[in-house]
Chain A
Amino acid sequence: MSDFDYSIVEEAAKQLYIRSLCDLPPDVRDALKKAYARETKPTARSVYEAIFKTIEIADSGKTLICQDTGLPLYKVKIGSGYAWNGYEIKNRLIDGTRRATQEFPFRGSSTDPLLRVNPQTSVGPGLPVFYWDFAEGDTLDILMAPKGSGSENMSKMQMFTPADGIKALKKFVLDAVVGSGGNPCPPGIIGVGFGGTADLVTKLAKDAILRPVGQRNPDPEIAAIEVELEDAINASGVGAMGLGGDVTTLAVHIETAYTHITQNPVAVNTQCWPARRARAIIHPDGAVEYGY
């Protein structure tokens, strides 16, 4: 086993949670500016003006962008070129999440589903949510997202039949987004999962909201459906915060997986305008690079 100092992972987890809550990724900022430039309704324009002021205040280090600190999610990619200790990484990410919550301090949002008791730690059985993957290279790549609840509560999944085809996806996504109105704090990212199993399709929808805004699916046919759905959703007129306007979503992202010959699963995961995420790339020598 290597002699890597895993307190570096713990500190990175703490920093990632705080950074994600305070510093919105540049692609999200750009997308919001473009949406504002397109918007013609005065009510919606005043929403964007408040959004830009909020981002500015958070940038000046005064407070968090949104009070909903969400549920913490980590996507971890472990490089094959170094003897990373996965068990140690997991425990340090949990400890770092707890420390961020208690040392900043900000509101912990995790709770027991039956007793509804909040330990004010942001962790607990099953939390944080972890997704593990492996890659070439020797780095440890950690993507952290605090998922807010106004948008998460609008999530939907359905198992359609193969005969329903791609039309089922289009109608399901459009109806879900328009039906959500102002609840998920639009304009945000609409994540769509397509294929896989019931659990995988839901995970794919979450992967989709974590892509930089507007980064298209590499399959041109899927990318064309993303554009088609963006136009359809924006034509609804739901607008910023559901108060009416020209832009209801910044982007639709679709992630796909092969599915069973008898299945046609579709899932929607909505992301609010503060589409928060932060990334750390940790090197075997202990160096940490922060980004998005």
Chain B
Amino acid sequence: MAEYHLTSPFSEQDIRQLHAGDIVRFDGRLFGIRDLTQIYMFDQGHEPPVSLAGYPCIHTAPSLRKTGDKWEKICVGTTTSTRMDRFSPELISKYGVRAIIGKAGLYEKSLDAMKEHGAVYLAIVGGSAALETLQIEEVEAVYWEHLHPEAIYQFRVKDFGPLTVAMDSHGRHLYDEVREEAARRMPEIYKKLGL
């Protein structure tokens, strides 16, 4: 397990050096997206008004407050990624996103896209919104405001993490490995319970 400190936007080399189980923290720009953002992009065919190429995207629906033109953070946390799996391959292949941040992971087609294009899935600690909110220095911009709280959020972050590389660009999938290991252990556990 290695630890990395990166700065976004990420190069392909930044991402290819990462392996499942490594810990990552980063500075720079982070985009927040969610279910509705991607339904609007992919199902309804709207082009994002900002380039996501090289950047990480986090699955979130933030609590923000708008005073005049300025958006302020109240609480920003992470939601379950599995619901948004079907959008992720295109997010990587078409828009060049280098890291998807969320909890509980994505599936096989997303993993294939990560291998092909050089991207990773970074697992954040679900429920730890207080920490994430503190690591967000500024809400730089909000695009597609009419979709709030599922718009596109451009955050500037500092030491964002710890994030665990849960799916890497070499085909490893930590959640699947844990599931397979649990399945291997189950017969013995059943036996102990008298099942």
- B contact residues, range: 35 or more
Asked if B126 and A241 sit within 8 Å, CB to CB, the answer is yes
Partner of A228, one of B105, B123, B185, B193: B193
Tell me which residues across on chain A come within 8 A of B164, comparing CB atoms. 43, 46-47, 241, 243
Given contacts A150-B80, A174-B193, A182-B103, whether A107 and B63 have CB atoms under 8 Å apart is yes
Identify which of residues 110-168 in chain B touch chain A, using a CB-to-CB cut-off of 8 Å: 123, 125-131, 133-134, 149, 162, 164, 166
A169 to chain B, nearest CB (A): 10
**Which DSSP category, helix, strand, loop or mixed, fits chain B's interface?**
mixed
B170 to chain A, nearest CB (A): 17
Number of A-B contacts (CB under 8 A): 162
Minimum CB distance partner of B63 in chain A: A107
Minimum CB distance partner of B77 in chain A: A67
Q: Decide yes or no whether B53 CB sits under 8 A from chain A.
A: no
Tell me which residues across on chain B come within 8 A of A231, comparing CB atoms. 192
Q: Decide yes or no whether B84 CB sits under 8 A from chain A.
A: no
Partner of B162, one of A49, A58, A182: A49
Q: Decide yes or no whether A170 CB sits under 8 A from chain B.
A: yes
Tell me which residues across on chain A come within 8 A of B39, comparing CB atoms. none
Asked if B77 and A68 sit within 8 Å, CB to CB, the answer is yes
Asked if A167 and B195 sit within 8 Å, CB to CB, the answer is yes
Q: Decide yes or no whether A66 CB sits under 8 A from chain B.
A: yes
Partner of B190, one of A42, A67, A171, A181: A171
Asked if B195 and A53 sit within 8 Å, CB to CB, the answer is no
Asked if A171 and B175 sit within 8 Å, CB to CB, the answer is no
Interface string of A153-170 (1 = CB under 8 A from B): 100000000000001001
Asked if B193 and A232 sit within 8 Å, CB to CB, the answer is yes
Minimum CB distance partner of B131 in chain A: A54
Q: Decide yes or no whether A194 CB sits under 8 A from chain B.
A: no
Asked if B103 and A64 sit within 8 Å, CB to CB, the answer is no
Partner of A66, one of B65, B77, B134, B178: B77
Partner of A272, one of B76, B126, B178: B126
Q: Decide yes or no whether A148 CB sits under 8 A from chain B.
A: yes
Partner of B21, one of A43, A171, A178, A181: A43
Interface string of A31-61 (1 = CB under 8 A from B): 0000000000011001101110111011000
Q: Decide yes or no whether A273 CB sits under 8 A from chain B.
A: yes
Tell me which residues across on chain B come within 8 A of A43, comparing CB atoms. 1, 21, 23, 164, 174
Identify which of residues 77-122 in chain B touch chain A, using a CB-to-CB cut-off of 8 Å: 77-80, 82, 103-105
B186 to chain A, nearest CB (A): 7
Partner of A183, one of B62, B104, B130: B104
Query: Considering residues A50, A62, A148, A170, which has the most beta carbons from chain B within 10 angstroms of its beta carbon?
Result: A50
Identify which of residues 199-242 in chain A touch chain B, using a CB-to-CB cut-off of 8 Å: 228-229, 231-232, 235-242
A180, B60: Cα distance in complex, Å: 21
Q: Decide yes or no whether A185 CB sits under 8 A from chain B.
A: yes
Asked if B178 and A107 sit within 8 Å, CB to CB, the answer is no
Tell me which residues across on chain A come within 8 A of B128, comparing CB atoms. 50-51, 53-54, 65-66
Interface string of A62-106 (1 = CB under 8 A from B): 111111100000000000000000000000000000000000011
Asked if B178 and A106 sit within 8 Å, CB to CB, the answer is no
A148, B80: Cα distance in complex, Å: 12
Minimum CB distance partner of A65 in chain B: B130
Q: Decide yes or no whether B179 CB sits under 8 A from chain A.
A: yes
Asked if B174 and A244 sit within 8 Å, CB to CB, the answer is yes
21 inter-chain pairs at a CB distance below 8 angstroms, sorted by A residue, are A43-B21, A43-B174, A47-B164, A50-B128, A63-B130, A63-B133, A64-B75, A66-B126, A66-B128, A66-B129, A68-B127, A106-B63, A107-B149, A150-B79, A150-B80, A174-B189, A231-B192, A232-B189, A241-B125, A243-B166, A272-B127
A-contacting residues of B (Cβ < 8 Å)?
1, 21, 23, 60-63, 65, 74-80, 82, 103-105, 123, 125-131, 133-134, 149, 162, 164, 166, 174-175, 177-179, 181-182, 185-186, 188-190, 192-195
Closest 3 CB pairs of A and B: A67-B77, A54-B128, A185-B126
B-contacting residues of A (Cβ < 8 Å)?
42-43, 46-47, 49-51, 53-55, 57-58, 62-68, 105-107, 148, 150, 153, 167, 170-171, 174, 178, 181-183, 185, 228-229, 231-232, 235-244, 272-274
